[in-house]
Amino acid sequence: MKTTLFSALVAAVLISALLVVYARHQSRVVFVQIQTLESERDALNEEWSRLQLEQSTQAMASRIEGLAREQLDMRSPKPEQLVLVPQ
């Protein structure tokens, strides 16, 4: 009876130890995944900031006006060419 109980306790301790090792391993795997995802998030945030800055630069009125003048040969109308439409 004592040997059966002792064997069961030894088996329980060994199984418990193996489960602790497995849980620690899983914890480390998840930690590495978190670190990878955080790095990816930081890179995406940096790219988003860069894209917002580029968009604000591209949408500046003076830049658009310059491109319209240079590439499309557009000019502001002369005062005599303006027609006011009554409301």
CB neighbourhood size of 68 (10 A): 13
| pLDDT for res 43 | 98
The pTM score is 0.57
Band (pLDDT 50/70/90 cuts) for residue 75 is confident
When pLDDT is averaged across residues 15-33 and rounded to a whole number, the result is 98
Show the tokens assigned to 80: 């005599």
Q: Using the predicted structure, report yes or no on whether residue 51 has a pLDDT greater than 90.
A: yes
- Angstrom CA distances, 4 to 10, 14, 63, stand at 10, 15, 86
pLDDT tops 90 at residue 63: no
Alpha-carbon distances, residue 8 vs 1, 12, 21, 76 (angstroms): 11, 6, 20, 94
SS3 60: coil
pLDDT at 60 over 90: no
Of 82, 63, 81, the C-alpha closest to 71 is: 63
Q: pLDDT value at position 10?
A: 95
Kindly state the average pLDDT of the residues 36-62: 93
In this structure, what token pair is assigned to residue 22?
A: 């497995």
